[in-house]
Structure 1
Amino acid sequence: MVLLLAGTGYNAALLKHLTGKSGQVTTCDIDPDVTAYTRRMLDANGCEDVRVVTRDGALGASRFSPYDRMIATVGMWDLPGAWWDQLAVGGRLVVPLRWRGLSRAVAFQREEKVMRSDSVKMCGFLPVIGQDGERNDYIDDDRLVRLYWDEDQSIALDLLHDVLTRPKSLAWTDETVGRVESFDGVWLRLSATERTTCRITAKPAAVEADIHRPASPALSPALVEADSIAYLTLERTTEGPEAEPQFRLGAVGYGAAGADLAERICAQIRAWSPARTAEPVVTAYPADTPDSDLADGAVIDRPSVRLVIAYGP
């Protein structure tokens, strides 16, 4: 039995095809216009037996539980308690999970007391309505540079107001990437080791004016502590129009602790480089789980769960 959270019917039809005649698929969405459209499309394509429920996806659909599979097609900041109650032990949950400014499609296997990932892949989904634990704001008067962080992080914007106008500290590694090679795993590494990991975005005007270019101006990892910040950067190391582009990775820091934060980013670049496709294990525990029962790793608390992000030895 499969529960699909959100969507317009396409994924539900695919899942019904996979489960076959004996399989049961339920899809739900909070918007009645969406579910009405879903119902019409499923009926028109021979999927009359897929259940369509108008309901807040965070509540699931307990009437038809337990489920062997649950899939969310909207970005989630938390894992609602109702999902724990409705997912069978041994069942599987696939969810676009958001933490520390990044988003990953995490495939969890439900165990007796925890949910443990066996796949963590890059993805992008619109965030679900109603989970507002993410924060964002500008750190400059021109509103060109913005930070994104979680509510459990202590970030005081008033301390960062003029941080990008202060002297900068550059730190470089010997690690390089090609033009189309992903370095997003550095962000994952930071989220598993540095509680202050967040996201920085810089509009082109900011880069043209005075700040050192983030590695990806639209979304790069950053570390923030008090009145200091550092973020991932890169520079081209090859010359000439015929040369295959290579880019060296490093970090730039601002503020009293900027140099230290930049070096800490570089340490995770070096840790990432030998195994660039390695994935962390994300373990979800109920929110009332004591610290003594948690696995080793970075702990991220949400209203319904405690997440532990960890890499193996």
Structure 2
Amino acid sequence: MNNTTTGTSPEALRASMVAHVKQAGHARNQAVEEALSEIPRHRFVPAATAEDAYANKAVITKRAEDGSALSCASVPTVVAMQLDQLDVQPGNRVLEIGAGTGYNAALLARLTGPGGEVTTVDIDDEVTFGAREALDGNGFPDVRVIARDGSLGAQEHAPYDRIILTVGAFDLPPAWWSQLAPGGRLVVPLRWRGQTRSVAFVREGDRLRSDSVQLCGFVPMIGQDSELSGHLDSDGLVTLYWDGDQDISLDRLDRILATPKTAAWSGVTVGNSEPFDGVWLRMTGTEPGTCRIAADPAAVEAGLATPAIPSRSPALVEKDSLAYFTFRRLDDGGKQRSELGAIGHGPTGDELAERLSDQIRAWGSARTADPVITAYPADTPDEQIGSAHIVDKRHSRLVVSLPVVQGAS
């Protein structure tokens, strides 16, 4: 199917897309801006209109039977954000996990230039076939396209100066570590404690250390998810999600939302457009019971559970008690602001709510502080890591380091 438009040329739409990306604070690297300006995104998603191809939204190219997305062209601002994080240099050898439409591989080929190499891997034969056709048809025959489980990488073309994932990952398999050159960069949408961040890691010996962490959302990698879930009420309106290494049991939380609730308010306020996702990130590095809660609209309307963002908000679980992140609107002389806080349930729900509010206050005093995520191989002993809060996965161990600032904002 050919792209159609409503009268605006693809070139003008592409220029508008790049302008929007720049306004959002991405494509800071001039080479990234030039690549976005030159590569015809609409030709990699021919079933979409040109307007949709260049809009700031994902273009879904394959869905599962239940309607969930299996493959897509990512949101342009997210594409640019990750390319900024990756910092591709001319002549680099680049591995991409998640071939998608081939568009991102074309951008990578433009960035690395004729002296570099790009290999893209995807587990889905249909996806790699489409990516191969699109790359060949748009002048990128030298990009390697391999149908394979992305967790295996592509050892035959390693080592890589840069590795990028355009699918969500729950863990860091050994192949990615071994195939990344010393000093190389790995950009991965990594999921832990219910939230996903695009983390730009630099390989430092036997560990990976971040220098950029950005909020994001991606189609999950097939076969890697180790997240558990269960309902907190008999009607299935409120769901808790947690990681396999956490000491969380639904049996101990039976009918928890039917117990009296206690609110703890932090004194920290935000405006309508101010992000507060940093609270969740901070919690992952300080509270081992950090997880995710999701409430259906019916649960929110009934007051059963009122998390700040109903579909995904941080929660804190300890034994038979629970607290979750919430907010309340304030009348501030016509200014629209909200105070952040927590609601607790269970025998120690009030204590958990206060601890969650403490995290909000710590974040409120250092809202722009950059966290550092350090990843170690799974067999690294505790004493070598030296942290009280370690997120354990099958192949890796994570530590989230954040500055500790006293006081509230």
TM range (shorter): over 0.9
State whether structure 2 residue 287 is matched by structure 1 residue 194. Answer: yes
> What CA distance in whole angstroms lies between the structure 1 residues aligned with 2:364 and 2:150?
39
1:295 Cα offset (Å): 4.1
Q: TM-score, normalised by structure 2?
A: 0.75
> Aligned partners of 2:194, 2:142: CA distance in 1, in Å?
39
In the alignment, is residue 159 of structure 1 matched against residue 252 of structure 2?
A: yes
Shift of 1:239: 6.1
Determine if contact 1:297/1:309 at 8 Å carries over to the other structure: no
Query: Among 300, 303, 308, which residue is 2:394 paired with?
Result: 303
Q: Measure, in 2, the Cα distance between the counterparts of 1:62 and 1:278.
A: 37
**CA distance, structure 2, for counterparts of residue 205 and residue 171 of structure 1:** 24
Q: Per-residue deviation at 1:279?
A: 2.4
**Residues 63-110 of structure 1: per-residue CA shift (max 9 Å, x gap):** 000000000011111000001110000100000000000000000001
- Specify the alignment match of 1:2 in structure 2: 94
Write the mapping of 1:280-299 to structure 2, written as runs, cut at 5 A.
Answer: 280-296=371-387, 298-299=389-390
SS in 2 for 1:231: strand
The answer to whether structure 1 residue 102 and structure 2 residue 178 are counterparts is: no
Shift of 1:296: 2.9
**Partners of 1:136 and 1:146 within 8 A in 2:** yes
CA distance in 1, matches of 2:289, 2:142: 48
Matched, 1:48 2:180: no
Q: What displacement does 1:187 show?
A: 0.5
2:367 corresponds to: 276
- Structure number with greater CO (CA < 8 Å, separation at least 6) is 1
Q: Does the Cα contact within 8 Å between 1:8 and 1:34 map onto a contact in 2? A: yes
Counterparts of 1:304 and 1:143, CA distance in 2: 33
Q: Deviations over 1:32-80 (max 9, x none)?
A: 1111111000000000000111111000000000000000011111000
Whichever residue aligns with residue 193 of structure 1, its letter is T
Unaligned 5+ residue runs, structure 2?
A: 1-92, 405-409
> Superposition pairs for residues 3-152 of structure 1, below 5 Å?
3-6=95-98, 7-152=100-245
- Cα separation, 1, equivalents of 2:364 and 2:346: 27
CA distance in 2, matches of 1:239, 1:204: 27
Name the structure 2 match of 1:251: 342
Shift, 1:297, TM fit: 5.4
Compute the TM-score of the two structures, normalised by the length of structure 1.
Answer: 0.97
Does the CA contact (< 8 Å) of 1:299 and 1:308 recur in 2? Answer: yes
Measured against aligned partners, the alpha-carbon deviations of 1:121-164 in whole angstroms (never above 9, x if no partner) come to 00000111111311111110111000110000111112212111
* Structure 1 unmatched runs, 5+: none
How many Å separate the matches in 2 of 1:255 and 1:143? 19
Cα distance in 2 for residues equivalent to 1:143 and 1:270? 32
In proportion to residue count, which structure has more strand? 1
Query: Aligned partners of 2:399, 2:343: CA distance in 1, in Å?
Result: 28
Return the offset for 1:307.
Answer: 0.9
Name the amino acid aligned to 1:3: L
Q: Report deviation, 1:22.
A: 0.7
C-alpha separation between the residues in 1 aligned to 2:254 and 2:381?
37
Structure 1 runs of 4+ off > 2 angstroms?
295-298
Code of the residue aligned with 2:145 in structure 1: it is V
- SS of the residue aligned with 1:199? strand
Question: How many Å separate the matches in 2 of 1:234 and 1:81?
Answer: 41
1:132 is paired with a residue whose SS is coil
1:106 and 1:117 in contact (8 A); partners too? yes
Larger helix percent: 2
